[in-house]
Amino acid sequence: VLIYLVSNFTCMSPEERSAASACQVESNSRNDQKVPEAKSAHDFHEMLSKPLGGRVAHKEVSRALSDLNMREDENRPHALRRLRERIEKNLSGLMGPSVAHDIVDTFLPWDENKGYVARDIHFMESRLEAYHSRLSGLAGELDDLRRYHRDILNNLPMALCSVDAAGEIMLWNQAMSHMTAIPASEVLGSPLNRIPEPWNDILSNFARIDSQHLPKHGVEINGQLRYFNLHKANLEALVYGPNGNKVMLLEDHTENQMLEDQLFHSERLASIGQLAAGVAHEIGNPVTAIDCLAQELKALSEEGDTREVAGQVLEQTQRISRIVQMLMNYSHNGKNRS
């Protein structure tokens, strides 16, 4: 009772507050909108080499990466935040919370020039998955609803991704992974402009423009011109950050565009065929009349020069008739293609 009363009616010293803060490094709310100055796990090793030495620093960073099941080349902002907190927790067990907090705070500082950074929603979801069987009542029903909505978006037959106000990818569904050949595990939490070409340009540029729709956007991929319809919606009220969150849909329009081009080509052929048929008909009638007159002139005339000229006229009319027939044949081919 005496300990409770003293603890309840006295204030903690700054040293005690620092130690308590260091013991709470796994809290979801603590530092959830900051990012370390370090840009990669390798930078953590370099920065911690000063107070701990290269060997110990490498060991502690590798240990933290292993604890969090992260790769050596990890560079996602929210993942680096978790890595920093895990290193602080591990160091607390070796040299005490207060000393560990001072070392991490000094040599792994937060980037004060960086604004809002997304919370690690994917980490929070994994925690919820682990506790799913323990949830009951309203909490269990809300978690079931969350899982249901997540599965709808993930299995949607249209490629979909969402980004937060800082431009980090929060959702990358299966259709998007299939279309881009980029697994969700490689891009979730990463800045949109860091994903592989040409998708970073397509999505980053579309995210920046004011237009909500971008139809028939042509992009050359692997030497082939492909067309995409892009759609975007702004999410103005999201619990995980300020305004500026977006969801984008990507629709492959290449096959439809090819069919439209073929249809347009067929329509042009049909139009040219109709024109050729009309021209052939208009030319054929007077040529037939000229041919008849030349035949009659050749048959009735007794002068050799006249008969020779009439024969030459017949040769030319026959030549014109062959050209007309070619036009007629072309017009029939054009109609068949339509």
**Comparing C-alpha atoms, which of 180, 177, 159 is closest to residue 222?**
180
Domain boundaries along the sequence of the chain: 2-107, 121-252, 259-337
CATH class of the domain at 259-337: mainly alpha
Question: What does the alpha-carbon distance between residue 232 and residue 26 come to, in Å, rounded to a whole number?
Answer: 35
Cα→Cα distances 101→21, 85, 190, Å: 8, 10, 27
Q: Using CB atoms within 10 A of its CB, is residue 250 exposed (0-12), middle (13-18) or buried (19+)?
A: buried
Q: What are phi and psi of 235, to 5 degrees?
A: -100, 105
For residue 133 the two structure tokens come to 């069987």
Q: What angle do CA 296, 301, 307 make, to 5 degrees?
A: 85
Identity of the amino acid at 180: T
Q: Is 90 in contact with 63 (CB distance < 8 Å)?
A: yes
pLDDT at 174: 93
Q: Is 69 in contact with 63 (CB distance < 8 Å)?
A: no
pLDDT at 116: 47
Cα→Cα distances 41→46, 52, 89, Å: 9, 16, 16
Give residues with Cβ within 8 angstroms of 238, minimum separation 6: 164, 245
pLDDT at 189: 78
Does residue 164 sit in helix, strand or coil? coil
Question: What does the alpha-carbon distance between residue 54 and residue 46 come to, in Å, rounded to a whole number?
Answer: 8
| Helix, strand and coil in the chain, % to nearest 5 | 60, 15, 25
Q: Using CB atoms within 10 A of its CB, is residue 136 exposed (0-12), middle (13-18) or buried (19+)?
A: exposed
Which residues is 247 bridged to in the sheet?
162, 233
Q: Which CATH code is given to the segment(s) 121-252?
A: 3.30.450.20
pLDDT at 28: 44
To the question of pTM greater than 0.95 for the whole model, the response is no
Sheet holding 169-172, edge to edge: 169-172, 159-163, 245-252, 224-235, 213-221
Give residues with Cβ within 8 angstroms of 96, minimum separation 6: 19
pLDDT at 175: 93
Q: What is the pLDDT along the chain (338 residues), one digit of tens a residue?
A: 465 555 656 666 655 555 554 444 444 444 555 778 888 888 888 899 988 888 899 999 999 988 888 888 877 777 788 888 889 999 988 888 888 888 888 888 887 765 545 555 655 666 666 666 777 788 778 878 878 888 888 898 999 998 887 788 888 999 999 999 999 888 887 888 888 888 988 998 898 888 899 998 888 888 888 899 999 988 765 555 556 788 999 998 888 878 887 888 777 777 777 777 777 778 888 888 888 888 888 888 878 888 888 888 889 888 888 888 887 776 666 554 44
Q: Is 243 in contact with 301 (CB distance < 8 Å)?
A: no
Calculate Rg over the CA atoms of the chain: 38
The residue written with tokens 């995980």 in the block is: 240
